[in-house]
Structures are given as structure tokens and as C-alpha cells.
Homo-oligomer: A and B are copies of this chain.
Amino acid sequence: MSWLLTEEHLEDLARGAAVLGTGGGGDPYVGRLLVRQAIRECGPVTVLDPAEVDDEALVIPTAQMGAPTVVFEKIPSGDEALTALRALERHLGTRAAATMPIECGGINSMIPLVVAARSGLPVVDADGMGRAFPELQMETFGVYGVTGSPMAVAGERGETSVIDTGADNKRMEWLARGITIRLGGVAHIAEYSMRGAEVKRTAVPRTLTLAHTVGRALREARERQDDPIAHLGEVLAGSLYQHLRVLFRGKISDVERRTEAGFARGRATAKSFDGRHELDLVFQNEHLVALVDGEVRCLVPDLVCVLESEQAEPITTESLRYGQRVTVVGISTPELMRTPQALAVFGPAAFGLRHEFRPVEALTTAES
């Protein structure tokens, strides 16, 4: 079902997107401010159900790319992603009928809303990762045959680059990352332009709506002083993200983080409150794996989400700090993202991890 997104939806949406962003996708607060400003200036945004997109309509996804550690310090003006969309339209010699997120997560659930508000285009309620991933070839669009090229990259001074690597989406990522680094570590992009029929075939559907529902559930649970994690589990059980597992409760004891090759890479460790158990997290922008006492408990592309213990507010990888009290949950990704083709592109091996993928619901039993 299509719906009209207003300023009132933003807080819940940003929170939910940050949960699904599995620690990445950029700071949700910055993104929320950008959308609020755009909606105040240009009016609300139509969120278009993928089933209602015309098969022939041209959809151009938009996003920000870069290391979240940099995004945090280098606030966009809000025009950059629209500049990228327009550059790609000029290159293609045609106009987009809608935009769409490429991933679900902090700022990248928000950027397409900014583009939509400022251009008057609707935004399709779907995305290409069903979570956040650090690299552009890691999109269900590409897994199922849409090429990322040609893609447009825009910088803060209005510079544009249109990259075309044919069917090689990994090469596209490599070149776009090079430009992003030269643009100061953050850029805005338009890529994977496709027809409505391809959206229906390749996108993870209704993730904007889900993010809003998740964010609202967490807020309402707080307001009622209920257990937010339990509410989150209930909401997800009715979605494509069926299984939620609590992996760990404890205190962050160590964070090692570096910005290298355009990414925020690192590890974090937490200790249980009784001091008897240890959690290890490895991340590249997003969390990739959670180990408890050395055993794998949740693996990419399943979602590892670090939530602040009291309010269940999601914590992004660049905001992890010593001493934070956290509840770490694992969430199963939609089946679309667990096929052999999908795992070849964004399964553990794609990140250099030696663990074979196993679903979170098989690795960790449900709490009673």
C-alpha cells in the first residue's frame, strides 16, 4: 500500500532504519534533519508500494556512499543526491519516474526521501540490501541481474562523474570508491537504474514501511515501559525478517576502529555483566559477525544489531563506545538474501570471513 510520509513519521522511521542498518548506513540523526528540512520546504513524500510501480517506469535509486566515520563530520547540504540523479538522467537521456533506497539503514533510508521531496518524485518502498552493506556490488539488484552501471557520483561542489563498467558491479564499486575518497570520504550517488518490473523481481520489498513499524514499536514499548526487544520480535515475526535472537547482554569493553580505503573497519568487544562471557563483533561500516565466547552466533547477511540496553536505541558502529550497556540481537534476513547467488556476493566469504553462512535461527535457539 502506498502512503504519504510526513515530518511526523521521521523519528520512528530513522530509529527503525538504524536497527535494520545493522550498525551501518550512516548516522540516522543527520539524515532525519535533512529530510525534515526538505519536507518543510517542499511538502510530504509519496511512498510507493512496489506492487503499484508501473512495469515500464524508470526507477533510479539514490544514496550516500562513504565511511560513516566521515559522514558524521561532513554534513551534506541535501542537494548532492539529486545532483547525482540529474546527472544520470542526462546521461541516460531520460527522466526517472521514482527514486528508491539502495539500502536500509541510518542515512541511506533518508537520502532518497530528500531526493523525493526536492524533486517531487515518489520513493519506492523497497531497497537493494534489506539492511546496510558497505559495498555497491552487494545489492540484490545486482545479484538478480540488474547492472549498477552507468552510475553517477556527485560531490559537495556539484562535481559529477558518470562511471560505466558494463556488467562488472564490483569494478564500479572500486572506481566509485576511489572518487569518493578523493571527494573527501563521502559522496552521493545514483545507480542501478531499472524498470518497475525489475524492482518487483530484485528488490527487498516494503523496507521503508518496515523500518517505520520497527521504530514505532520500540517507541511505544518505551512509552508503555514494556520490553522493547519483545515488541521488536513480534513486529518482525510478521515480516520477511522472521527470526529475532538475543545474542548477548553486557557492556562494551573495547572498540578498535580505523578509517581505511574509504571504509570504517574495526572490532568491538563486550563483557557480560557477570564477567563470565565475552562478545566479539567485527565490522566494515556494518557488523559482519557476532561471536560469543568464540562461537559464531550471527553471520552476514543476517543482521547483527547493537541496541542500547535501557531504551533499545540502535547504536551505529561509529558510535560504539567503551562502557555502553548493550543488548545485541541477531535478525534473519529475507530468503531473497540467503540464496546461493546472494551469498556469493555478500555472504561471509565476500568479506574474507572463513565461516560458512548458517542462519541465525539455527545458530542460536530462541529464548524461552
Question: A323 interface residue, CB < 8 Å from B?
Answer: no
**In contact, B164 and A160 (Cβ under 8 angstroms):** yes
Instruction: Give me the 6 closest cross-chain CB pairs, A-B, nearest first.
Output: A178-B182, A159-B165, A162-B162, A178-B178, A161-B163, A160-B164
Q: Which of B91, B159, B165, B174 contacts A163 (CB 8 A)?
A: B159
**Quick one: which of A304-321 are within 8 Å of B by CB?**
none
CA distance A87 to B177 in the complex (A): 21
Q: Mark A42-65, 1 if CB is under 8 A from B, else 0.
A: 000000000000000000000000
CA distance A182 to B173 in the complex (A): 11
**In contact, A164 and B161 (Cβ under 8 angstroms):** yes
Shortest Cβ distance from A90 into B: residue: B91
Question: A102 interface residue, CB < 8 Å from B?
Answer: no
A residues contacting B by CB (< 8 A) are: 87, 91, 155, 157-166, 168, 171, 174-175, 177-179, 181-183
**In contact, A175 and B161 (Cβ under 8 angstroms):** yes
Most buried by B among A91, A161, A163: A161
CA distance A157 to B164 in the complex (A): 11
Contacts known (A175-B179, A178-B181, A179-B175); A157 close to B168, Cβ less than 8 A: yes
Instruction: Determine the chain B residues whose CB is within 8 A of the CB of A181 once the complex forms.
Output: 178
**In contact, B165 and A162 (Cβ under 8 angstroms):** no
**In contact, A91 and B182 (Cβ under 8 angstroms):** no
Q: Which of B159, B168, B174 contacts A166 (CB 8 A)?
A: B159
Could you list 17 examples of A-B contacts with CB < 8 Å?
A155-B175, A158-B166, A159-B163, A159-B164, A159-B166, A159-B168, A159-B171, A159-B175, A160-B163, A161-B161, A161-B162, A161-B164, A174-B182, A177-B182, A178-B179, A178-B181, A179-B179
CA distance A157 to B179 in the complex (A): 18
CA distance A222 to B264 in the complex (A): 60
CA distance A174 to B183 in the complex (A): 9
Instruction: Determine the chain B residues whose CB is within 8 A of the CB of A171 once the complex forms.
Output: 157, 159
Instruction: Determine the chain B residues whose CB is within 8 A of the CB of A91 once the complex forms.
Output: 91, 162
Instruction: Determine the chain B residues whose CB is within 8 A of the CB of A178 once the complex forms.
Output: 178-179, 181-182
Given A91-B162, A174-B182, 20 more A-B residue pairs with CB atoms under 8 Å apart are A87-B164, A155-B175, A157-B165, A157-B168, A157-B171, A159-B163, A159-B164, A159-B166, A159-B168, A159-B171, A159-B175, A160-B164, A161-B179, A162-B162, A175-B179, A175-B183, A177-B182, A178-B179, A178-B181, A179-B179
CA distance A157 to B171 in the complex (A): 10
Instruction: Determine the chain B residues whose CB is within 8 A of the CB of A164 once the complex forms.
Output: 87, 159-161
CA distance A163 to B152 in the complex (A): 10
Shortest Cβ distance from A178 into B: residue: B182
Contacts known (A91-B91, A161-B161); A175 close to B182, Cβ less than 8 A: yes
Instruction: Determine the chain B residues whose CB is within 8 A of the CB of A177 once the complex forms.
Output: 182
